[in-house]
Amino acid sequence: MYNKIMATTLPIEILYLLEEKIGKEEAKKVSSAIIASLDTIETKANDTALQKKLELKDELTKELPNKGDLNLVETRLNAKIDNLKTELDAKIDKFKIELSAQSKLYFVILLCAIFLTNHEALSLIAKIIGIAK
């Protein structure tokens, strides 16, 4: 941080008032002392503000996740996603097997319904297969 030169001045009314009350030379000394005090106060205020700013920055930086934290979270999320994919694939495979079995059952039921309602369909199937002539 750079040090800036303080350029504090007193209002002219205060200088005139001091000259009236204590004289010109004493007014110059008092105004110089006041200006030096104000400059010191401003310097200390700036230093304190900078110190508070740096403390706040450090405190906030400690609260933010670092790259290692983000990598750990990413690794955990990828592991969870992989587990969910595995579970979902297993459920899909199970569903496919159940659907295949269910489709076969429906086909057999449909064939039985056709044979029971239409006797000529049975003889047609037998001719197609080659059992009957």
Q: Hey, where are the domains in the chain?
A: 1-64, 66-133
Q: Is 83 exposed, middle or buried (0-12, 13-18, 19+ CB in 10 A)?
A: exposed
Task: Report percent pLDDT > 90 for the chain.
Answer: 43
Q: Within 10 Å of residue 133's Cβ, how many Cβ atoms?
A: 5
Q: How many CB atoms lie within 10 A of CB 27?
A: 19
Q: Which pLDDT value is given to residue 7?
A: 62
Mean pLDDT over residues 86-110, rounded?
93
Note the pTM of the prediction, 2 decimals: 0.43
Reported as a single tens digit per residue, the pLDDT across 18-53 is 888 888 888 888 888 888 888 899 999 999 999 999
pLDDT score of 82? 97
Q: Which two tokens stand for residue 24?
A: 């010109």
Give, in order, the Cα–Cα distances in Å from 75 to each of 67, 70, 103, 121. Answer: 12, 9, 41, 62
- The mean pLDDT value for 67-88 works out to 94
Q: Point out the least confidently predicted range of 17-26, 52-61, 86-95.
A: 17-26
pLDDT band at 124 (very low <50, low <70, confident <90, very high): confident
